[in-house]
């Protein structure tokens, strides 16, 4: 997920390009070139779109708006809601394949619902003042507990600056 968010930070970036060059320079300082006489840099010294840290509130907001819109779009392509899949899974007359297909489809829908809810949560945090957001993330809903590190090291850090 972090590589996906990082890539979106790069694709959604619409601020001063010098900021990206500054981030690239910081990345290259952390990953030194090989000490030998080779003209070829070490592969880890290249900067990729999946290396982009949180840049600004504006950029992070655009990232989560994009995640939300993509998730809503993909969810709308399913002809039936998640609740219907859950009802289907309760049936005892499903074949092994029908059961697995329904489990797979419902899992995709659960992920999309999670991304929509997480988008709303992050977008709400990004509108808060630092102290309010920090307090708000102290007691996370259980479904967002796995995202605590992202929220505290990226979102809260952006609000502090």
- The tens-digit pLDDT sequence of the chain (161 residues) is 888 998 899 889 998 888 877 777 776 666 655 445 555 555 455 556 667 888 899 999 999 999 999 999 999 999 999 999 999 999 999 999 999 999 999 999 999 999 999 999 999 999 999 999 999 999 999 999 999 999 998 999 999 98
> Residue 156 has what DSSP assignment?
H
Say how far apart CA 126 and CA 42 lie, in whole Å.
Answer: 37
Instruction: Please report the pLDDT score of residue 34 as a whole number.
Output: 46
Q: What is the pTM of this model?
A: 0.81
Residue ranges and CATH numbers for the domains of the chain are 2-32+48-160 (3.90.1420)
* Distance between first and last Cα of the chain: 24
Instruction: Please report the pLDDT score of residue 23 as a whole number.
Output: 74
Residue 37 structure tokens: 């006489």
Q: Which residues of 86-105 are buried (b: 16+ CB within 10 A; e: fewer)?
A: eebeeeeeeeeeeeeebeee
- Phi then psi for residue 53, to 5 deg, are -80, 175
């Amino acid at each position: 997920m972090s590589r996906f968010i990082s890539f979106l930070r790069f694709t959604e970036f619409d601020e001063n390009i010098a900021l990206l060059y500054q981030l690239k320079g910081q990345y290259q300082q952390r990953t030194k070139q090989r000490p030998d006489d080779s003209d070829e840099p070490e592969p880890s010294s290249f900067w990729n779109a999946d290396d982009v840290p949180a840049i600004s509130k504006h950029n992070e907001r655009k990232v989560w708006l994009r995640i939300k819109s993509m998730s809503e779009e993909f969810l709308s392509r399913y002809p039936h809601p998640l609740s219907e899949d859950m009802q289907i899974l309760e049936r005892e007359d499903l074949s092994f394949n029908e059961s697995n297909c329904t489990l797979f489809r419902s899992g995709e829908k659960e992920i999309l619902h999670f991304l929509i809810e997480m988008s709303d949560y992050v977008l709400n945090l990004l509108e808060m003042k630092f102290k309010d957001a920090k307090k708000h993330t102290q007691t996370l809903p259980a479904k967002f507990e796995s995202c605590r590190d992202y929220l505290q090291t990226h979102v809260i850090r952006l609000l502090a600056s």
